[in-house]
Amino acid sequence: MDTVTSKDGTTIAFDRSGDGPPVILVCGASTDRSANAPLAELLAEHFSVFNYDRRGRGDSGDTPPYAVEREVEELDAVIDAAGGSAFVYGTSSGGALALEAAASGLAVTRLAMWEPPFSLAESSRPPADQVERYNEMISSGRRGEAVEYFMTKVVGLSPEFVAHAKNAPFWQAQEALAHTLAYDATIMGDYSLPIERAASVTVPTVVIAGRAALSMDARDGQSARRSYP
């Protein structure tokens, strides 16, 4: 494990593997860098892979107050560690963060996003008060409720599934990351397509849609979600 320090003093942890052009992996909501570890292993055959923990996750620090700009600065710090420019791949809301980073002028030379959860239809978007709800639940110590809210109201999993998930091995890790759910909701805003920001990105970009519509295996915590996180 290596670390970099962002502009506000936050320590950001990452794993580096492989050799070749640098590519940075950005995880989505309710996950840390372990979620991208299998992908990092595959890409390491051809690239220098930088798989990092976003703020508040895994081995990285978390300096308040939260702002999307701080996350962009942290990605910029990882890009500096990668040599000053890099390909960037973001999963789900991590893709939205990667898009914002590219639009902000970071040295992103190629951009790939797996299912960034923007929605053209307002009726299909998550509740507008997500951030406030998460912050209230976290401040009162109700981390499990925050995870349950995310799974049912945002991901769209059934209450029956969530009831089963509470007894699964991965539930404790989900609660540990619960405070970061507000971070991803802040990044997504109202979940509408950021047309102007996207239009400002001039580097080659690919957007990937997953084949699985919605699945999550409670036995091992592996998941493939339709639209969110």
Q: How far apart are CA 45 and CA 78, in angstroms?
A: 20
User: Domain limits of the chain?
Assistant: 2-122+174-224
CATH topology of domain 2-122+174-224: Rossmann fold (3.40.50)
In three-state secondary structure terms, 122 is helix
State pLDDT tens for residues 157-178: 999 999 999 999 999 999 999 9
Q: How far apart are CA 35 and CA 7, in angstroms?
A: 26
How much is the pLDDT for 124?
85
How much is the pLDDT for 219?
29
How much is the pLDDT for 123?
84
Distances, alpha carbon 10 to alpha carbons 5, 97, 138, in Å: 6, 17, 21
Segment among 71-75, 107-111, 153-157 with least mean pLDDT:
153-157
How much is the pLDDT for 5?
97
Buried b (16+ CB within 10 A) or exposed e, 114-143: bbbbbbeeeeebbeeebbebbbebbeeebb
Q: Please count the other Cβ atoms lying within 10 Å of the Cβ belonging to residue 170.
A: 17
pLDDT at 227 over 80: no
Look up the pTM and report it: 0.88
Bridge partners, 141 (sequence order): none
Helices (H) and strands (E) in the chain, counts: 9, 9
State pLDDT tens for residues 7-56: 999 999 999 999 999 999 999 999 999 999 999 999 999 999 999 999 99
Show Cβ contacts of residue 120 under 8 Å, excluding neighbours closer than 6 positions. 192, 193
Rounded to 5 degrees, φ, ψ at 72 are -65, -40
Give mean pLDDT, residues 55-71.
96
The residue whose two tokens read 């925050």 is: 146
State pLDDT tens for residues 203-223: 999 999 876 543 333 323 333
State pLDDT tens for residues 98-149: 999 999 999 999 999 999 999 988 888 999 999 999 999 999 999 999 999 9
Give mean pLDDT, residues 58-87.
97
How much is the pLDDT for 216?
33
DSSP letter assigned to residue 128: T
Q: How far apart are CA 103 and CA 85, in angstroms?
A: 14
How much is the pLDDT for 211?
67
How much is the pLDDT for 164?
92
Nearest in space to 57 (alpha carbons), one of 108, 102, 93, 99: 93
State pLDDT tens for residues 179-195: 999 999 999 999 999 99
